[in-house]
Amino acid sequence: MLKWLEKNLPKIVMAPAVGLIGWFVYGFVLWTLYISFTNSKILPKYELWGVGQYVKLWGSRKWLIAVDNLLIFTALFLIFCVVIGIILAIFLDQKIRAEGVLRTIYLYPMALSFIVTGTAWKWILNPTLGIQKMFIDWGFENFTFDWLVNREMAIYTIVIAGVWQSAGFVMALFLAGLRSVEDEIVKAAKIDGANLFTVYWKILLPMMRPVFFTSFVILVHISIKSYDLIVALTQGGPGISTTMPALYMTQTAFHKSQVGLSAASAMMMFMAVAAVIIPYLYSELRRENAR
């Protein structure tokens, strides 16, 4: 008995982690998947109902708006975070004085919660006393900046706050990537007469492919899951103009008590994330095995 215990101790120690994840991640996802095929309202029902919830979901105007917003947000969030991140990383890489201070400033938003970020930006962007008033008081009397309460433009305020929060993080990833490149490569290129621009554009950035890939995966992941920021900044409004899938899911489940429908929306999000993550994990694993 004691022998057996000793032999299997590692597996026994491993068991809580595997058991908890097996139950709370895989078991729960399967449960949600099952419920998405039932006609559950307030309480879950277990008779299968087919794909009715998915049909309903893709026929819902609110869901289509949510998906639309997600696409707009993801595209802009990605572009701005990556462009700003790369610019900051390259510029910081030029033996800059006070690099440490600047880096700290660029990255501190990552330490804040999206609720704090959203609260701050909501105040800054509010049309009565925020930026708009600042410009009017400075003498630009016709200046208007009412994106926060404008149906067409509100989604872009979420982009502004989201980029503010996450661009520094892309900077950190790229800076780490650039720093890991051998000095020799840059030196050799310079001696061959390449200017700084060419060095970065033709040599260093192409070498950063894995970093681009990682940033892409992480940023898309953040944007599919974005929830807190919208709650704090616009609560999906004005109207339903800034609804996103994560917000749709919780509202459908907990305010409208449409458990089946909300499970279907959760599964759509799950599939979207899986489509990005599985290739990523696969390539990471291959890289590790190749080592």
Partner 1 sequence: MQDKTHSSYKQLEQKSKYTNLFLRWFLYFVLVIFALYFIFPLYVMVVTSLKTMEEIRQGTLLTWPSGLNFDSWLVAWGGRGYGAGDTFLKPYFWNSIKMVVPAVFFSTFIGAMAGYVLTKWRFKGDKWVFLFLLFGCFIPYQAILLPMARTLGVLGISNSVIGLVLVHTVYGIPFTTLFFRNFYVSIPSELVKAARIDGAGFFKIFFKILLPVSTPIIVVTIIWQFTQIWNDFLFGSTFSFGEAAPIQVALNNMVLSSTSVKEYNVDMASAIIAGIPTLIVYVLAGKYFIRGLTSGAVKG
153 vs 273, which CB is nearer to partner 1?
A: 273
**112 secondary structure, DSSP code:** S
Contact 172, 93 (CB under 8 A): no
9 vs 55, which CB is nearer to partner 1?
A: 9
3-state secondary structure 158-182: HHHHHHHHHHHHHHHHHHHHHHCCC
CB of 213 to partner 1, least distance (A): 13
d(CA 82, CA 118): 21
CB of 10 to partner 1, least distance (A): 4
99 vs 241, which CB is nearer to partner 1?
A: 99
Burial of 239 (0-12, 13-18, 19+ CB in 10 A): exposed
d(CA 284, CA 37): 34
128 vs 152, which CB is nearer to partner 1?
A: 128
63 vs 169, which CB is nearer to partner 1?
A: 169
Residue 48 pairs with which residues in a beta bridge? 38
**38 secondary structure, DSSP code:** B
58 vs 91, which CB is nearer to partner 1?
A: 91
Q: At what angle do helices 154-179 and 209-225 cross, to 10 degrees?
A: 150
CB of 92 to partner 1, least distance (A): 7
CB of 106 to partner 1, least distance (A): 6
CB of 271 to partner 1, least distance (A): 10
Exposure class string for 265-279: b at 16+ Cβ within 10 A, else e? bbbbbeebeeeeeee
CB of 24 to partner 1, least distance (A): 5
Joined together, the tokens standing for residue 81 give 């975070």
